[in-house]
Amino acid sequence: MFDLRAMRQDPEHYVRGVARKEAGGVEEILDLDRSWRAQLAGVEELRARRNAASQEIAQKKRAGEDASGDIAAMREIGARIREIEEGLKDLEPRIRDLIARLPNIPHESVPDGDATHNLELRRVGTPRRFTFTPKAHWDLGVELGMVDFERASKVSGPRFAFLTGAGARLERALVSFMLDMHTEKHGYTELFPPFLVNDRSAFGTAQLPKFANDMFQTTDGYFLIPTAEVPVTNYRREEILAADELPLRYCAYSACFRSEAGSAGRDTRGLIRNHQFNKVELVRLATEERSYDELEILTKDAEDVLEALELPYRVVVLSTLEMTSASAKTYDLEVWLPSYNTYREISSCSNFEAYQARRAEIRYRDADGRLHYAHTLNGSGVAVGRAWAAIVENYQEEDGSLVIPDALRPYMGGLSAIRPQEA
């Protein structure tokens, strides 16, 4: 979200910036703003005329003169003032709503274009060369008794899963492993957030008003969170922080709920795109001077998870049309999945600059006492279901068994492998 005063001072910066995400609306906002200010000035002028007419009427009455014509004129002025004020009531929220729908301006280092313009920065690890035909996680997981899609579909519908037995334990192990790494090694403060938020929180992180259809809403106005980013970023909403408190680092496990509007036919099998999934989220609040350094640190924190699990991955800078509306710059971590024979996203690490903080009113006071909006960052550290799928596919053996990564064995009671007869 942007400051209207800044938009007035440098309109071309905002026109060019949102156009990089193939969006518009800045000119409309500024036209409406000019109209609002002109009408406001008109109201002030009419009020001055009404005050002058009121004094003139009083003088005429004291002198015993006829003031009926002046009274009629003053009533007309009053009616005109009320008419303009009524229009201004509608105009102000319309301008605010249009500003709230503008996307964030991409950082200058972000490549323009669609997914074909994403910029690969590096690859870590080498995809395994199998001596047999590897199975997809949705097949091997079922064979090992680790997941049940059929009964989940009966209970809930498509795009849901029951994790069962060793599969459920693997999910729990991944959550605990990630939280321990981020709190003990990376210095994050762990939160366990609400899974339902109000509309003010959804607005603060820019899910509302633009992406209401992507969320599940309860009958009493709450929203199921699409990611722990929403409650955790809003944890410091409407607060003024001290600059020396920053950066603040929070991590949180949560279930996540997404309607997947517009994704019909995509990733219908397995755990890649479900309505409910688990994630460990990383959130940082930083000063404006430090936020891009913090983005590099946050991204490396997420990479550490994949490196500890010895999963091959790559890091990609998303192009302007691939990143989210609210992001100024996003790194995607993509893990290798043999079933797709390619890399698939497992974490997005983004800097939103002051875009979310303006909406959520998160500010900090510098050493000179001046107030600034904080810069907010977040990233998956990482998506648990996708890590589960990547482990099942990358650690499978020809005999149908699944080797447990070394890093997870302490969280699996020392279990080194899952075999068909043990599942």
Residues with catalytic roles: 258, 273, 345, 348, 386
Contact 326, 319 (CB under 8 A): no
H or E segment to which residue 45 belongs: helix 26-62
Grouping H, G, I as helix, E, B as strand and the rest as coil, residue 140 is helix
As beta bridge partners, residue 407 has none
329-337 and 342-351 beta bridge pairing = antiparallel
Grouping H, G, I as helix, E, B as strand and the rest as coil, residue 99 is helix
What long-range pairs does 13-16 form, CB within 8 A, spacing at least 24?
13/105, 14/102, 14/105
> E-assigned strands of 259-413?
276-286, 313-317, 329-337, 342-351, 362-365, 371-373, 375-383, 402-403
Tokens of 248: 């603040």
Using alpha carbons only, what angle is made at residue 247 by residues 245 and 249, rounded to the nearest 5 degrees? Answer: 110
Neighbours of 276 (CB within 10 A): 16
Contact 330, 348 (CB under 8 A): yes
In angstroms, rounded to a whole number, what is the distance separating the alpha carbons of residues 280 and 153? 25
